Structure formats: structure tokens, C-alpha cells
Amino acid sequence: MQIKIHLGKLKSDLSLPDSIRSQRQTNNIQILPIELEHVLELQNLPPHHNDPFDRLLIVQAKAEGALLVSKDKAFKKYPAFLATCLPNADSNRDS
């Protein structure tokens, strides 16, 4: 998130720490660490998407059984992942 803010791709009225704190309280958001198994699983992910951060998020969500929300169209190149984590994403993908 900090990288997206720095690049101007994410805007918020709250500072990043305040935003995370608020989301953790309001939506029970959990912060997941990047584990060695996540990094090693990257070798099994097809190279449909070139963004290394997104690729890491995909394998992390799969490994943890977590919900990953994104409007990035490149994610639909991973149909097994989408069926598991983003079952209704097609309806609002471009908004």
C-alpha cells in the first residue's frame, strides 16, 4: 500500500497507519506476513502476470485461503485462483 501511495495510485484521507488501524477494527482485517512457503510457491505460479508484488499476493492468498480483492485484469489469467478467491469479481472489474 505504501508503494501505491508513493506512486499516486492510492489515495486516502487517512495516513497509512491510521487507515490500517481503522480497517483492522472495522473489518477485522489481518496483516499477513510473507512466509518462506509463499516465496517458494512462486515457482509454481504460471507467468501470466509480471508484477512481482501481485504474484506474491496471489500465492499468499492461495496458501492462506484468504480473500484477495483486486480490479487488476491480469488476475483473471489465474482461473483457479479467481474461482477460489474472487468468485463475483467479473461484475465490477472495470469500475
| Beta strand ranges found along 1-95 (DSSP E) | none
Tens digits of residue pLDDT in 6-36: 999 888 899 999 999 998 999 888 888 999 9
3-state class of 72 per DSSP? coil
Same domain, 5 and 27: yes
Q: Is-above-0.85 flag for pTM?
A: no
- Give the number of domains in the chain: 2
Q: Which helix (H) or strand (E) holds 80?
A: helix 79-85
Same domain, 48 and 21: no
Same domain, 65 and 95: yes
Q: What pLDDT, on a 0 to 100 scale, did the predictor assign at position 95?
A: 40
Is residue 77 within 8 A of residue 60, CB to CB? The reply is: no
Dist. CA 17–CA 55, nearest whole Å: 24
Same domain, 47 and 92: yes
Same domain, 21 and 61: no
Q: What pLDDT, on a 0 to 100 scale, did the predictor assign at position 20?
A: 92
Range of the domain at 64: 35-95
3-state class of 95 per DSSP? coil
